[in-house]
Amino acid sequence: MVDLSAQALEETGPLRTCIVTRAVRPADDMLRFVLDPQGEVVVDLRRKLPGRGVWVSANAATVREAVKRKAFQRSFKRNGLAVSATLAESVDDLMQRDALQALAMANKAGAVVTGSTKVEAAIASGTIAVLVHASDGRPDGIRKLDAQLRQRHGEGANDVPKINLFHAEQLDLALGRTNVIHAALAGGGTCDAFLARCRRIASYRSGAIVDAREGSAHPPREHDDGVGRHDAGEAMNGLSPGT
């Protein structure tokens, strides 16, 4: 007889239990934390760092709750363990760096164009897979490109993700250029890697689970005890599948 209980699945499959909510989820919906050589709690985004790990639902509110409730101290069985009060913000920073590294890789692969003129040309040619706007870009410039996207693709424009998670300075550093306000990515593996990381940031900030393939979002499951619960309409803050 096959044991399909949650405990058995967690032990034999890719399910993990959140140390705060006790939610049982696939590893992809969780964050792994370990102790670094200095004994500090750090996030293991790639889930490859050595040592015993503990798992937290992948949203900022739950990470903050883990710090507040001293859940890391209990899980690592170290009462004197010091945990940074800004751990949730540190995770967000690392996620941004990870996404920007993926953007840099896409750029090296020739999958990125920047500047209004080149982005407009990409829209006109129908080769655009992702549209990026600097979060501090001028609203009129953003509206213009979004309108051109709708004009070119009609209802299909809703299938093109639009990202405004990063400041222009961050985009400059990632792409090795200056004054990057708008960018467009063609499809391909490097584009998919960047988009998946952006969706993870949006999910982390909103508290909703964002499907990395479809761009859909839904609130945390009921057994999350309401921690990090947000309306699904807020899930794509900074990353939307269209307007």
Residues linked to residue 163 through DSSP beta bridges, in sequence order: 132, 239
Whole-number pLDDT of residue 240 = 52
pLDDT at residue 95 above 60?
yes
Q: Is 90 exceeded by the pLDDT of residue 46?
A: yes
Q: Three-state SS for 43?
A: strand
- pLDDT tens-digit readout, 160-205: 999 999 999 999 999 999 999 999 999 999 999 999 999 999 999 9
CA distance 130 to 183: 8
Is it the case that residue 221 has pLDDT exceeding 50? no
Which of the four pLDDT bands, split at 50, 70 and 90, describes residue 79?
Answer: confident
Q: For residue 233, is pLDDT > 70?
A: no
Q: Which CATH architecture has domain 6-85?
A: 2-Layer Sandwich (3.30)
Please compute, for residue 127, the number of CA atoms within 13 A of its CA located in the half-sphere on the CB side. Answer: 15
Backbone φ and ψ of 99, nearest 5°? -65, -40
> In the prediction, which pLDDT does 208 show?
54
| DSSP code for 232 | G
If you average pLDDT over every residue of the chain, what do you get?
A: 84
Q: Could you state, in order of their start, the residue ranges of all structural domains in the chain?
A: 6-85, 89-240
Look at residue 239 in the predicted model and tell me its pLDDT. Answer: 60
The token pair at 24 is 């049982």
Q: Greater confidence, 108 or 242?
A: 108
What percent of the chain is predicted at pLDDT more than 90? 74
Which pTM value belongs to this model? 0.80
**Looking at residue 41, what is its pLDDT?**
96
Q: Do residues 203 and 235 make contact, with C-beta atoms less than 8 angstroms apart?
A: yes
* Cα–Cα dist 238/243, whole Å: 12
Q: Please check the confidence at residue 112 and state whether its pLDDT lies above 70.
A: yes
Instruction: Report the Cα 23 to chain-centroid distance in Å.
Output: 20
pLDDT of residue 40 exceeding 50: yes
User: Does pLDDT of 6 surpass 80?
Assistant: no
Confidence label for 121 from pLDDT (cuts 50, 70 and 90):
very high
| Fold held by 89-240 | 60s Ribosomal Protein L30; Chain: A; (3.30.1330)
Q: What is the mean pLDDT of residues 85-109?
A: 97
Residues 120 and 55: their CA atoms lie apart, in Å, by: 43
